[in-house]
Structure 1
Amino acid sequence: TQLQDDEIEAYAASGGHVVHCPESNLKLASGFCPVARLLAAGINVALGTDGAASNNDLDMLGEMQTAALLGKGVAGNTEALPATQVLEMATINGARALGLEADIGSLTPGKAADITAIDLQSIETQPVFDPVSQIVYSAGREQVSHVWVNGELLLSDGELTRINVNRLMADTGSWQDKLQQQS
């Protein structure tokens, strides 16, 4: 968030990647990432949520919306960070940052079948003129209907398929009690 122009140039020359976590930056008041300048310099910028302690919700759809809006404000340019670019930051650019772009990050034959289905038929996402724009600016995690990881269905009609939610909530409550007792 504090990079100067010469530092951006040097970092671009190094081939490094940046993981942008806008909601964490906002919560921690750590500054504003110059995403448009980083991208213009040729730096691969991925999108992240940071850890639960500095973000709370770990919601990638919310992160995409925040990144898109904040990126325009920081750049002072309504055309900075268009929806397609933000979606790429959340998908293929993240895979690139991890060195896994040959395996994940896009729907391509031979790659892992990691897919998130988002239901854009709710009133909050209507009307739909540009699905990518609707996903970035209007959809929320409540519109995620299905998730497949490496072809395995993990969320079906909004219900987890491999995790017992009641047990998870009980375990969470137990850990919360233990942590409160230690503080």
Structure 2
Amino acid sequence: MTSLFLRNLDEHQQLMALLPALESQVLAVGQRLAGVLSSGGKLMFCGNGGSAADSQHLASELTGRFIKDRRPLAGLALSTDSSALTCIANDYSFDDVFARQLQGLGRAGDGLVAISTSGNSANVLRAVEAARALGIYTLGLLGRDGGKLAGLCDDAIVVPHGVTARIQEAHILIGHTLCGLIEDELGLA
């Protein structure tokens, strides 16, 4: 019997073999995100659970550093303020936790990276709708078939797999690549 580790590794490797098909899309999105930052905009990230952690991780790669020391870039995870999250969830709805923050913090010319392994998270959908109403560029970093978000976002990078853990592994690879592309495009790497 094959161990869980080897089964997971096999699934991971099979998925990674599919990702080269996303190369041109990832490169184009990296340029677009760099354009948001070079024009004075900020990048906001949102997601639930592991995708919230990925949002925080990627935002910190921008405000901290990724490849080498450089000036901080404007990155913000909408999942990090527990007071805002609980206030909005309590007073309005959990479906509004990202949209209300985005409406208060976002401006035309900013970007939103909406991370969802299903593509159907209600609070992420509402955030994208709010972003679009404000003239904010939207990128969906999605899984499975992209769900409802795939058609709602300006751009959607869809990891074609059905296992959440494998999708998240691919999301962080793509997210790291986007951070590197941003630094390259801005002449910071």
TM-score category (smaller protein)? under 0.3
Q: Which has more radius of gyration?
A: 1
Higher relative contact order (CA 8 A, sep 6+): 2
**Greater per-residue helix proportion:** 2
TM-score (norm 2): 0.27
